[in-house]
Structure 1
Amino acid sequence: MTNEEAAPKAANIFDVARLAGVSHQTVSRVLNDLPNVRPATRQRVEHAIAQLRYSPSPAARALVTRRTRTIGLVTPGVPDYGPTSIALRFNLAARQARYSVHAVHALTHEVTDVRAAVDELLRQRVDAIVLIVIDVAVLEAIRTIELGVPLVAVAATPRASSTTISIDQYRGARSAVRHLAELGHERILHIAGPASMPDAVERVRGWRDELAAHGLVASDPAAGDWSAESGYRVGSTLELRAGDGVFVANDQMAIGLLAALRERRLRVPEDVSVVGFDDVPEAAYLDPPLTTVRQDFDRLGELMMQKVLIAIEEPDSASQDAPLPTRLIVRGSTRARP
């Protein structure tokens, strides 16, 4: 007996489909844990997979489906906590779904650089592209391009779309301002992120609308760039008086603001209350611990992967998703006014 005769033939996806009495597309949906498969059908497919000891290889699956089981990820070329956390959680979710991720950094926020990153991924024959958007103009520009593969964008935008997913920056900002207003602060300032970035735009919008809901006046927001240095710079010159509240568009700028307030002999929270956004790991260990708005990046990574799988396997069933909620984390940097 030759080695070729002795080695049993490995089962393929068509063998599983034949044994379970379903199409190979249904087997693929079960393997990718996609919706729209009846429980009884799913159980039959899983039983056939176990009986045949079927283990799909990336090469075999690419031949059958003309797919590479690789997803292209375009990330901004900045080390900010939010985009970095989103990319990490998405990579973990993709790995659990047995996909690999090819990540490319866009060198700048310019549309031309993002398009170059997308073109590089398309040359790698990726099955879909995920874009972490930090510039308002980029998403609209990329949407006009015929890519030939599904596009899923992580973008804070008030215009819902079947291809976008986000965390609710707007309501998160409103919860931060509402907290300060309910503590009795009648003057609530804002240190904003860059005006071209969707997260910053939505947080400014939430700040303004919540102030209006409480009958409070919104002055022009101070401009930061997400860095602690910019928070310190703004905080060194910001016109403040005892009893003010400050909503800062991210925790890094809030850290810089706290340092500037210490130098100015303004006590937090006795003189000024401060609220950040993101809940970075250091926030709970600052002096004082920072009240902030937490974003669920773990859940976002899972939903990103689910949307990618649906876009690949069931493009006709794609639907709009409500933004994920945020959670206000109250710590020692805020207090009620006397």
Structure 2
Amino acid sequence: MPRPSLALGPVAALLLAATARAQTEYHDTDAGRPLRIEDATATARYALGVQLPPLRVEHTASGVTRLRAEPKLSYGVLPRTEVELRATLLYVPPSGQAPRRAGVAGIGVSALHALTIETPDHPALALAADVLLPVGSFASPLPVYSGKAMLTRTFRAARVHVNGALGTWNLSVPNPLVGCGPNQVAPPGTSCPFVPEPFIPDTPCDVAPMPDASDAAPSARLCGAPATASASTRQLALSRTRYGRRWFLGAAVDRAVAVHSVLLAADVYAESFERLYGRPDVGAEIGARHQVAPNVVLDAGIGRRVAGVNRATLVTLGATLTVAARPLVRAH
């Protein structure tokens, strides 16, 4: 065989393997694509997953809408091991007297390792670690850390996934001297204490829509300070950082329609922010993934947080492109 053919052999094998793997990509779920619950599998070795900015639209019970996009890159660096890089982009449309705002709310880095591959006798198990760095004008004041465990088990009727996570949250809150109590009058240029609603772990309070304590209509406020407050008042309101622990627990079921390359899924979950809210948020979602090309998957979902403080309706749309990539480190 001529040398060029020998050289192209391994490359062709890699491309064919990546293409065959990508043809079942719709079967592998990732967090937020479209449900919050994911399966216990990692990106294939030397495969590069490009998640085109998935759009998440959230309409809160207070009538405020927020848009979130999270472009993501995942790479199979080792067998059953992936690393991931993502950016969180937020947009809050105008509300009341508050202007529209947009910006970066953090850069995330994570790693996932599948401890086991599913067999007839054992489920698939995986562990993941994540850190969201305080990068961007809308980022939280401190890094946000999280660890997650995932389990996937296939039955005749459907697959079942269970996710559990422990982590941290942090945000800036008003100085206790700024504001008023139930029977006090707020000093000029300040506002009464507020209840931050709603709040997402990697979303700082300065971009979260919050009800205005002095007005029945909702408005976006900067950590308790009115949107029209002076720069000095805003700086004073940002004088204290509050933090605590967060836990998340959820389960999902999905069923593949292989002949149409479609995956149908539904989940339920609960999430709690200790020292921030008095009760956990409870939500449910339904969604679907569809393979439209060997390397392209589209997904869509809709969800509702039905209990807790952060009640809202959510819609998610996204696409994933999977391509073959070269090893980051060559073996000698």
Which TM-score bucket, shorter chain as reference? under 0.3
Instruction: Identify, as 1 or 2, the structure richer in helix.
Output: 1
TM-score (norm 1): 0.24
Computing the radius of gyration from Cα coordinates, the structure with the larger value is: 1
Instruction: Identify, as 1 or 2, the structure richer in strand.
Output: 2
Greater relative CO, 1 or 2 (CA 8 Å, sep 6+): 2
